[in-house]
Amino acid sequence: MNILYAMQNTGVDFSADVGASILVKHTIEGLQRAGHHLKVCSLSGLSVRLYANIPNYQDFDLAPTGISGWPLFVLAERLSRRIQVAWKIPYVAAFDSFRFYQAMVRQLPAVDICHEYQGLFSVGTALACRKTGVPLVVTVDADLLLERKVVGRPLKGWHAALARRELNWLYRQARKILCVSEAAKQHLVTAWGVAAEKVVVMPNGVDTTLFHPDYDPAPIRAEWGLGGAPVVGFVGGFQKWHGLDLLVASFARLRERFPHARLLLVGDGPARPDIERAIAAHRLSDCTTITGLMPQARVPHMLAAVDVAVLPYPPLPQELWFSPLKLYEYMAAGKAIVASRAGQIADVLADGVTGLLVESGDVAQLSDAIAALLGNPAERARLGQNARQQAVERHSWARYIERLEAVYRSILS
């Protein structure tokens, strides 16, 4: 198939190894490995980049953008943006959408399927697909309006109304919408009025050749001064909804039974200052290591040093409807996992088979479950082996691409 992957959403960075960037890169590169002809278009400032040499995202051409590249248009755009900033007018990306539309219209005629990673105020791709008749598939990994509320930056008034109207229109234009969990599908159906038959659940995946249980833990333990201590670990972004404060509190309780245990936090993020204060308040600074951000290729080496890997999600004001990459990475690495019984996690992990599930927000349960595994190496090994087997059989990126190809074929047939 000839496939164009489109991203007017500038929040996806090909050089990053986090969240959406991992999903997008594995989708693009997996489709190419499967023998499809891929083009990738992404918005970058006042231009649209066209990538054909994948996965070398340093090489790109600038896609023709028609009148949106003319000096007079660029001048008008810059002037309007100055006025917007000066008068504090909310941004709606009208110029970006027009520029992306013009670039896409020129690329789509030779394309069988156009696949877009959703962005807020990003309608250029859908407009171009409507113009050319090319079927559009949209990946939706979050309710973008709800997400803004959760992080404390809600859209308001006409700005929110316009965003909702554009997203509703985008969902109507899409032939298929891909989301990461059953909870996400139900949310799209009930909150956005999307037809259930249009939505396909496509949970995230994992690179099972990169993440595996055969790395030597000794170099990492030596590098970070962990020695032979039992290690409780977390990998991921430091966001308030990841529940790291609960993990710190449960670890403080755990230390009463395992005084030599160490807490290894691999990652960084906006909640780090709060986490560091919690660590200090619980007097855990001498037994806690925060590594900062790590390249994706380094993460499985870090996991090798972990005895129990944790997903400590707190109770959330809305359904946990995303698909945590760290869950699949823990599984593929063959880790013994303790996780909150939240959203999709309870659909993926079988309690007592591929991990241990605890109630969200229950510090005592979380601590007791971790302690049970630290005290039972055989049980850790059993859970880790089961998790690894499930990751290979069901959750690899290769399986993800097979499911995606089936979606494309269903549209083209």
pLDDT confidence of residue 15: 66
Sign of CA dihedral 335, 142, 18, 238: negative
Per DSSP, what are the bridge partners of residue 336?
Answer: 308
Distance from C-alpha of 292 to C-alpha of 18, rounded to nearest angstrom: 13
Residue 217 DSSP code: S
Domains of the chain: 2-205+397-412 (3.40.50.2000), 218-394 (3.40.50.2000)
Distance from C-alpha of 307 to C-alpha of 322, rounded to nearest angstrom: 26
Q: Please report which confidence band the pLDDT of residue 322 belongs to, taking 50, 70 and 90 as the band edges.
A: confident
pLDDT confidence of residue 312: 96
Which of 29-43, 87-101, 289-303, 361-375 comes out lowest in average pLDDT?
Answer: 87-101
Instruction: Please say if the pLDDT value at position 7 is more than 70.
Output: yes
Per DSSP, what are the bridge partners of residue 292?
Answer: 267
Pairing mode, strands 61-62 and 47-51:
antiparallel
Q: Please report which confidence band the pLDDT of residue 317 belongs to, taking 50, 70 and 90 as the band edges.
A: low
Per DSSP, what are the bridge partners of residue 26?
Answer: none
Q: Which 3 state secondary structure label does DSSP give 89?
A: coil
Confidence (pTM):
0.88
**pLDDT per residue over 354-413, tens digit each?**
999 999 999 999 999 999 999 999 999 999 999 999 999 999 999 999 999 999 999 999
**pLDDT per residue over 164-179, tens digit each?**
999 999 999 999 999 9
